[in-house]
């Protein structure tokens, strides 16, 4: 029996070594997140954009989707986020051809900017403004139609003439 106990005592360390090791708990706090492990900052973006006939208190006064050629000025408003320190461009295009570029220095995390375009009556068709970031990427794009106004509408100041018997003024 004494030999059996000695044999068991001799094999016990071998059995312990054959088992998979248990991972040790760390004795220190994990390292704080570094620039490489932290979430990447959100890329700059346009949160609102609108064509409008004017700006009041840094906001568009209305939203234009189509404009008659009896009107000659239109604004493009953008509310920018996450572009602080960058140069952003409003690229105006008429029928696919770039006709103007207006650059802005963004000086804060939220920055509202607008550009204005004077239109000639014969420039009817599709107009597009693209917002281009400093890397040259288009981050937003919107279009409106500049339409030919019928002579009856021009005589009434650009508004449709009321139908006979219509009491609206």
Question: Per the domain annotation, does 167 fall within a domain?
Answer: no
What is the pLDDT averaged over residues 104-132? Answer: 97
Q: Look at residue 157 in the predicted model and tell me its pLDDT.
A: 53
| Coil vs helix vs strand at 34 | coil
Percent share of the chain, pLDDT over 70: 64
Question: Per the domain annotation, does 29 fall within a domain?
Answer: no
pLDDT tens digits, residue range 117-129?
999 999 999 999 9
CATH code for the domain of 150: 2.60.40.1930
Q: What is the mean pLDDT of the chain?
A: 78
Residue 64 in this model has a pLDDT that exceeds 60: yes
Strand partners, 145: 66, 126
The parent domain of residue 112 ranges over: 45-155
Closest by CA to 88, choosing from 114, 66, 64, is 114
Residue 141 in this model has a pLDDT that exceeds 90: yes
What is the pLDDT averaged over residues 105-117? Answer: 97
Question: Per the domain annotation, does 162 fall within a domain?
Answer: no
Cα torsion at 119, 122, 124, 129 (round to 10°)? -30
Q: Look at residue 43 in the predicted model and tell me its pLDDT.
A: 77
Number of domains, the chain: 1
- Gap between the Cα atoms of 102 and 86, Å rounded: 14
Joined together, the tokens standing for residue 147 give 């339409």
Question: Per the domain annotation, does 84 fall within a domain?
Answer: yes
Kindly report the backbone phi and psi dihedral angles of residue 2, in degrees, each rounded to the nearest multiple of 5, phi listed first.
-65, -35
Closest by CA to 121, choosing from 150, 147, 140, is 147
Residue 93 in this model has a pLDDT that exceeds 90: yes
């Amino acid at each position: 029996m004494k030999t059996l106990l000695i044999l068991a005592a001799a094999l016990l360390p071998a059995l312990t070594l054959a088992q998979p090791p248990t991972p040790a708990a760390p004795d220190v706090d994990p390292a704080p997140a570094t620039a490489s492990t932290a979430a990447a900052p959100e890329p700059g973006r346009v949160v609102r954009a609108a064509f409008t006939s004017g700006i009041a208190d840094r906001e568009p006064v209305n939203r234009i989707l189509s404009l008659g050629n009896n009107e000659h000025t239109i604004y493009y408003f953008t509310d920018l986020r996450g572009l602080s320190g960058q140069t952003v461009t409003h690229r105006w295009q008429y029928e696919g051809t770039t006709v103007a570029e207006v650059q802005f220095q963004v000086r804060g995390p939220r920055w509202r900017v607008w550009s204005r375009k004077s239109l000639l009556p014969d420039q009817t068709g599709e107009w597009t403004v693209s917002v281009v970031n400093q890397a040259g990427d288009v981050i937003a794009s919107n279009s409106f139609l500049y339409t030919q106004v019928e002579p009856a509408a021009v005589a009434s100041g650009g508004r449709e003439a009321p139908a006979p018997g219509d009491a609206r003024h």
